[in-house]
Structure 1
């Protein structure tokens, strides 16, 4: 049955990806932190609550993650001038550097995996993945 084979292959690929990312991002970065850095890189600034659906986690988990990131100099939190209850998250220069490093690490893994098949099959794979994730 194709479902079983797909599940096995998908599981192996995701396990290999997570292992690679953990090894190469460490010790300064985690995969969750990389997601936050990438989103902030594009957005410029965000409220912590905006990360909850992106990370698919709880407000408490987001707060803990941001605490670690701020402690490591990846982000800064700034209170809104007019509404002191609102906090904006910004990337620091170190955060921008780590975001770029993390993307390079991920791209390296993806290139290594995709280079095993032809360009035509890469395009087909992306097309098919789009079909099943829509």
Structure 2
């Protein structure tokens, strides 16, 4: 069946990407940390609860992740000046550099995979995946 073949290929690609990223990002970064840094780079600052919709994990795990990242100097946390109950998370300069490094690692890996097919088929693949993902 087409669904079984799709699942098998998707699993292989996902596994290959995950393994490559974990090896190449280590020891200073994980994939989850890269996701946090990418979100912060786009949004400037976020509350810890804002990460829930992007990370498949619990609020407690997000707190632990942010603690580790802050300790590693990848981000900073600060209280809101008007409402001290709100904590803002922002990416540090070191975090920006690590985010750039991580995105370049992923870009090279995906380019290597996509270079196996023509530019036209790359565009078609992205189009079709977009159709499937946004259905």
Task: Give the TM interval when normalised to the shorter protein.
Answer: over 0.9
**Which structure 1 residue ranges, 4+ long, deviate > 4 Å from structure 2?**
none
Q: TM-score, structure 2 length as denominator?
A: 0.97
Instruction: Look up the match of 2:8.
Output: 8
Q: Secondary structure at the match of 1:11?
A: helix
Which ranges of structure 2 fall in alignment gaps of 5 or more residues? none
Does 1:37 find its partner at 2:37?
A: yes
* Number of residue-to-residue matches in the alignment: 134
Per-residue CA distance 1:57-109 (angstroms, 9 max, x = gap): 21101100000000100000001112111100011100000010000001011
Q: Secondary structure at the match of 2:82?
A: coil
Q: Secondary structure at the match of 1:82?
A: coil
Does 1:133 find its partner at 2:133?
A: yes
- Comparing 110-119 with 3-12, greater Cα deviation is found at 3-12
Q: TM-score, structure 1 length as denominator?
A: 0.98
In structure 1, distance between residues paired with 2:118 and 2:124 = 10
| Aligned alpha-carbon RMSD (Å) | 0.7
Per-residue CA distance 1:32-69 (angstroms, 9 max, x = gap): 00000001001111111100111132110110000000
